[in-house]
Structure 1
Amino acid sequence: MILSKLLEELKCTVTAGNSAEILDADKVEIKDVVNDNRKISEGSLFICIKGANFDGHSCAMEAANKKAAAIVVEHDVELPGDCKIAVIRVENTRYAMAFISAAYFDHPARKLKTIGITGTKGKTTTTYLIRNMLENAGHKVGLIGTIEVIIGEEHIHAENTTPESFALQEYMARMVEAGCDSVVMEVSSQGLMLHRTQGFIFDIGIFTNIEPDHIGPNEHKDFEDYMHCKGLLFKQCRIGICNGDDIHTDDILEGHTCKAYTYGFGEGLDLRAINLAYIRKPGELGVFFDTEGLINMHAEIRTPGKFSVYNALCAIAVAQELGCTPEEIAPALKDAKVKGRIEMVKVSDEFTLMIDYAHNAMALKSLLTTLRDYHPNRLISVFGCGGNRSKLRRFEMGEVSGKYSDFTIITSDNPRYEEPEDIMNDIETGMKKTDGKYIKITDRKEAIRYAIDHGEQGDIIVLAGKGHEDYQEIKGVKYPMDERVIIQEILQERK
């Protein structure tokens, strides 16, 4: 590929080596694009990315010695004196990588309907809801998110919620090849901050909600920065669909360049949920509701609570925007399931058991308070906390479970390099700030067995923290551990 083709949407200068001599980008042939110095080869374009622990600019000399055709830099680098390698100077190499990657894969986003979802909670569930609806209406939809990437029949384990721009463009190119006409993806604040989704315009951008999260040394400096990064999506999409009930929606939409619609329960929103009724059957919780505004229909979802209605409303708004009818939306909504997100597992007609990814105090409180609305006989939570992470999370989760559960089974999660009992003791410290009853069982399978064996009529049991994960990380090794499998083993052993 000719270098000029890769740079056609970028502001940059192209010079020969460290000189001021301007190079003709039409005369430079590029064989491939890389940002990993281990993958540099003759004829490649190497993008120098500055990461948290390593700066790719330090590999400029290596790129020249390996006969790379070009490098992309944001400041001067050391090169051999007689080197004529094409040096592409840009303001930000991550931003440049997104546009170069889009061009390298022939702009696949232009051949797809692109839907991006940002927010603190609800991203994963909503991506699957939207995919279900669109597929039910005859579309072929790719998915990129926290759990996995789906391309046709292929399911690829996800490393990041939003992949680096090169991987993202490659996934979309493969979706086009597989016959997809749409892609729905989770767009994290980190992904927006690091320009991973640049290089194209989303057809639809979505905001679910925002609460203080991901604030720290390697993430966002404060809540305002977190909100600002979320809001970047609405300067990069044609249509914005936002939770009108969230108090920060106006801040998120500040300076937006898209046509914006709102959804929620409040008066005056573009799509509203009305006439809510909770569903409770043996082993099943859900909600009935009607919608008015952008589309009028009756809906049923088989997950509990108002936050499930928010997710469903968001998906309905997207589906109707893309031409889906109530007759296509309703059955897809009713049948939608997301692994590890309020995932009901039928074990008894007497009580309800579910698996959820709630792995911090905020998520656990939201889930438990929602389940309280279903008036359980007892609300029982089974959870642990990850090792080599903030102890504050352990204290907070223990205190939340003590306040909002009737009984807690403290167990192990991913202890990593810590002793499980030490983590459990920290959780217990938080529990002791409350009057909550609890027991400690280190082995997670035995903790789940205890919960099932002691389940009573009308109980709701929550296995929190692991969600979609199918492993347990101990001393640097990920051992297979899927709670769905564990539950089936326990039921078989009981027989």
Structure 2
Amino acid sequence: MKLTKLLERLEYTCLQGEIDKEISGIVNDSRKVTEGSLFFCIKGAVSDGHTYASDVAQKGAAAIIVQEPVEVPESVTVIRVADSRYAMALVAAAWYEYPAEKLHVIGITGTKGKTTTTYMIRSILEAAGHKVGLIGTIEAIIGDRVIPACNTTPESTTIQEYFAEMVKAGCDSVVMEVSSQGLMLHRTAGILFEIGIFTNLEPDHIGPAEHASFEEYLECKSRLFKQCKLGILNADDKHLEEILKGHTCQVETYGFSEKADFRATDTRLVSAPGYLGIDYQVSGKRNFKVEIDIPGKFSVYNSLAAIAVCDHYGVTDENIISALSQAKVKGRIEMIRVSDDFTLMIDYAHNAMALESLLTTLKEYHPKRLVCLFGCGGNRSKSRRYEMGEVSGKLADFTIITSDNPRYEEPEAILADIESAISRTDGAYIKITDRKEAIAYAIHHGQPGDVIVLAGKGHEDYQEICGVKHPMDERVLIQEILAEDAVKKVQE
């Protein structure tokens, strides 16, 4: 593709060389540069792509996009832009022939609920006959192809590549999680979202490698509503007005508020042996009763957002009701049936805020005991261990402290840190380092009416130890434990 074509939607200055030349590929990793490619000099947190300019020139790069001058042979075209990340997003869209313009693109931002809401929307739209791609925290789904995710919102070149594959696979829509980092780093620049969704906002992702402040975090989230046609937002969130500041989209709302366009009334917790759910009446622009197989008030919010989106696709009440009753998300309050006496579930809650929200929700179902099994990752802030230990000690009736991803730390040392916090509460607990043994203990000691939650791993299917990711899926562990129990019974 001609360089002029790639630059057609970009403001730039040509510092040297010709712009009417053929480009063989676009890359931002200097190790992947080949003859005739276009290289983006990205200023990252760890390295600066400008320092590799001469190296990529020697490898045969035909052109380089920069934010500041570099010294390379005159044969290499140098394009200067205000922000090379922003430029990369627009060039990537051009390289893949603007696939977003051939899809209905739905983006979801917020602190919590993004993942579950994407799956709910996809479930409803697919049930109504649409073919829907998905990009999110757990995976990307393109037709029959499932790609494990590295980032909630991938790099712009990857997003555009996925979009192009979705078009080729016959998708008419895509629903994706749009993180604050993704918005800040221009990964979604150049995409006009048909619908943007806001779930909620709480302090998160604030630190040296993420956002400098809560204000910056909020501002980045708000950017989605300056690049979508329709915004569908949580009417009950206290930051709603700030999120909408400067918005350029039409606005609809959902929630419990009487002012919401899509609102929930007559909410009722539903429980049965091995099962927790919630049902409610949808009022406002749509009117019908719905039951969700995922417990908690946040399930109402997530499903209302999905209903509001699907209303714009003309999906029938019957299709919505049926699809929502079957919507499941791996590792998000994922119930695993092991007994008629108690409820066992897996959830990704891996920080204090998420764990507190989860345990508070489950307590509303008045279980005989609320049992929480969790650990904390190694080589991460120790404060997370203390905070999660305190939360579980205060909210759970019994805690099983175990190993998560110890990385380069000793698992016992991590457990000791958690114990130091939980011992300051009135919560009962036990330490079992091996996660499979800990899960077996939870199952074997489950009592009638218990709710047992395995927190922290969620959708992950590995355990990281000393730089190596060993296969470990809690669903597999549970089945192994049940199979071993069955063998023991036969032998007895």
TM bin, normalised by shorter chain, reads over 0.9
1:123 counterpart = 2:114: yes
Match of 2:210 among 212, 216, 219: 219
Specify the alignment match of 2:46 in structure 1: 53
| Aligned-residue offset at 1:239 | 0.5
What CA distance in whole angstroms lies between the structure 2 residues aligned with 1:390 and 1:64? 41
Specify the alignment match of 1:39 in structure 2: 32
C-alpha contact 2:156 2:187 (8 A) present in aligned 1: yes
What CA distance in whole angstroms lies between the structure 1 residues aligned with 2:223 and 2:265? 31
| Paired residues for 1:67-466 under 5 Å | 67-80=60-73, 83-466=74-457
What CA distance in whole angstroms lies between the structure 1 residues aligned with 2:230 and 2:209? 31
Deviations, residues 345-365 of structure 1 (Å, cap 9, x unaligned): 001000000000000010000
What CA distance in whole angstroms lies between the structure 2 residues aligned with 1:66 and 1:443? 49
Deviation larger for 164-173 or 69-78: 69-78
What CA distance in whole angstroms lies between the structure 2 residues aligned with 1:69 and 1:411? 53
Specify the alignment match of 1:11 in structure 2: 11
| Aligned-residue offset at 1:65 | 2.1
What CA distance in whole angstroms lies between the structure 1 residues aligned with 2:224 and 2:237? 17
| Aligned-residue offset at 1:64 | 2.3
| Aligned-residue offset at 1:66 | 2.5
State TM-score, norm by structure 2: 0.98
| Aligned-residue offset at 1:311 | 0.6
Deviations, residues 33-69 of structure 1 (Å, cap 9, x unaligned): 1111112122111111111111111111123223322
Give the match's secondary structure for 2:4. Answer: helix
| Aligned-residue offset at 1:433 | 2.0
Q: Which runs of 5+ in 2 are unaligned?
A: 487-492
What CA distance in whole angstroms lies between the structure 1 residues aligned with 2:217 and 2:138? 22
C-alpha contact 2:295 2:361 (8 A) present in aligned 1: yes
Give the match's secondary structure for 2:482. Answer: helix
| Aligned-residue offset at 1:492 | 1.1
| Aligned-residue offset at 1:298 | 1.1
What CA distance in whole angstroms lies between the structure 1 residues aligned with 2:23 and 2:484? 60
Aligned AA for 2:90?
F
| Aligned-residue offset at 1:97 | 0.3
Give the match's secondary structure for 1:130. Answer: helix
| Aligned-residue offset at 1:245 | 0.5
Give the match's secondary structure for 1:300. Answer: strand
What CA distance in whole angstroms lies between the structure 1 residues aligned with 2:279 and 2:56? 60
C-alpha contact 2:16 2:79 (8 A) present in aligned 1: no
Pairwise CA RMSD: 0.9
Deviations, residues 215-257 of structure 1 (Å, cap 9, x unaligned): 0001000100000000010001100011110101111111001
What CA distance in whole angstroms lies between the structure 1 residues aligned with 2:484 and 2:58? 63
Match of 2:55 among 62, 67, 74: 62
Aligned AA for 1:247?
K
Give the match's secondary structure for 1:329. Answer: helix
| Aligned-residue offset at 1:78 | 1.8
Give the match's secondary structure for 1:388. Answer: coil
Give the match's secondary structure for 1:331. Answer: helix
| Aligned-residue offset at 1:212 | 0.6
What CA distance in whole angstroms lies between the structure 1 residues aligned with 2:89 and 2:420? 46
% of aligned pairs identical? 66
Deviation larger for 41-50 or 344-353: 41-50
State TM-score, norm by structure 1: 0.97
What CA distance in whole angstroms lies between the structure 1 residues aligned with 2:70 and 2:79? 11
| Aligned-residue offset at 1:476 | 0.7
Specify the alignment match of 2:490 in structure 1: none
Q: How many residues align?
A: 486
What CA distance in whole angstroms lies between the structure 2 residues aligned with 1:212 and 1:7? 38
Q: Which runs of 5+ in 1 are unaligned?
A: 18-22
